[in-house]
């Protein structure tokens, strides 16, 4: 195994799940969002975990096919309407799909095979979804088809952590569509609008299904979320020192000589780089945590490694642990801030080169 790994704490995942359940009304189910390799944690590979849920959500068809090959036999919902070229795979793997366009519906009908769908209502996300005023018309188009079963209706909230007034308008708009759908589809199984932020901030919009994503993994999904729900981060990213050297003042470090030592400096080389998901924006501004202290990343981050100034450590040797983030001394949010991005992007782009090690403690 590489010295670079991501530790994934399954006990913390279950802790977060239990605290999410405490927020829900009786009868509301959880559809965990396990897209993008479960936000980079690879918990989607753990059949023992995902089998606890009757329905799970993914973003693309390939993610659903992967779960079928893994052995997951319950419902898999594709959040985003795929391309028409993927319809055969959807049907072959018994995937439930979100739809919101006439052309996709027409191509689905042409296959003459049974398909399950959730209708996406566009209430203000500005991405996909039918206008709420078209709800009745769109349902009528589907119901005349013998092979299409309407299983659910849903929407996406765009700013459930920052703009409560706008979100309340979205909820009201969605509620109108829901009432139309329930009248036309008496056996409608699922109604869902809340992802992580909506789940925490708008309990009145839980309906009978919620879609937690980031909070399942223990990280902030929006402003002040951790003040409202108790969460434990699921993963830590670490590596080890594989090379040490002491260099003189005036020594250039890394590609393009972006760092020049100003004094005698002890440098550690650490085998994790941008091909593993470490952003180059951290070059010369980021830190890692070694032997109880933060130390600066120096020089440009390389594809396969980075260098750190360990001069001020009292003791350091090859093989010492290096924490890229440990959720305490260096957090995912701090890294994201330095990279001018969000924690979602940092965690979900840690590459498959980094082994995930599952722990229960």
Annotated catalytic residue within 11, 182, 224, 255: 255
| Residue 72 annotated among the catalytic residues of the structure | no
| Residue 154 annotated among the catalytic residues of the structure | no
Q: Distance (Å, rounded) from C-alpha 300 to C-alpha 307? A: 8
Annotated catalytic residue within 35, 116, 236, 240: 35
Catalytic residues: 35, 255
């Amino acid at each position: 195994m590489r010295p670079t790994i991501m530790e994934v704490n399954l006990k913390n995942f279950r802790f977060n799940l239990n605290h999410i359940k405490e927020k829900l009304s009786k009868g509301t189910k959880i559809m965990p969002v396990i897209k993008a390799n479960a936000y980079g944690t690879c918990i989607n590979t753990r059949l023992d975990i995902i089998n606890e849920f009757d329905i799970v959500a993914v973003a693309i068809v390939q993610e659903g096919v992967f779960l079928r090959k893994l052995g997951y036999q319950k419902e898999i919902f594709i959040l985003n309407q795929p391309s028409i070229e993927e319809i055969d795979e959807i049907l072959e793997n018994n995937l439930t799909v979100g739809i919101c366009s006439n052309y996709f519906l027409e191509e689905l009908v042409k296959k003459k095979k049974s398909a399950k769908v959730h209708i996406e209502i566009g209430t203000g996300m500005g991405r996909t979804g039918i206008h709420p005023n078209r709800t009745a018309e769109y349902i009528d188009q589907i119901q005349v088809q013998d092979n299409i079963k309407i299983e659910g209706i849903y929407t996406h909230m765009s700013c459930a952590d920052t703009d409560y007034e706008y979100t309340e308008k979205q909820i009201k708009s969605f509620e109108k569509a829901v009432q139309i759908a329930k009248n036309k589809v008496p056996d409608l199984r699922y109604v869902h609008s809340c992802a992580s932020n909506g789940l925490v901030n708008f309990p009145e919009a839980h309906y009978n299904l919620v879609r937690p994503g980031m909070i399942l993994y223990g990280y902030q999904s929006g402003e002040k979320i951790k003040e409202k729900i108790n969460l434990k981060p699921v993963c830590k990213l670490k590596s080890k020192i594989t090379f040490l050297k002491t260099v003189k003042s005036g020594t250039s470090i890394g590609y393009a000589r972006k760092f020049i030592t100003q004094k005698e400096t002890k440098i550690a080389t650490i085998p994790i780089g941008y091909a593993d998901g470490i952003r180059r924006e951290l070059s010369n501004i980021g830190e890692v945590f070694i032997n109880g202290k933060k130390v600066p990343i120096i020089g440009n981050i390389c594809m396969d490694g980075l260098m750190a100034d360990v001069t001020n450590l009292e003791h350091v040797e090859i093989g010492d642990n290096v924490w890229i983030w440990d959720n305490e001394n260096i957090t995912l949010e701090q890294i994201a801030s330095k990279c001018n991005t969000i924690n979602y992007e940092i965690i979900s782009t840690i590459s498959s080169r980094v082994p995930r090690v599952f722990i229960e403690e």
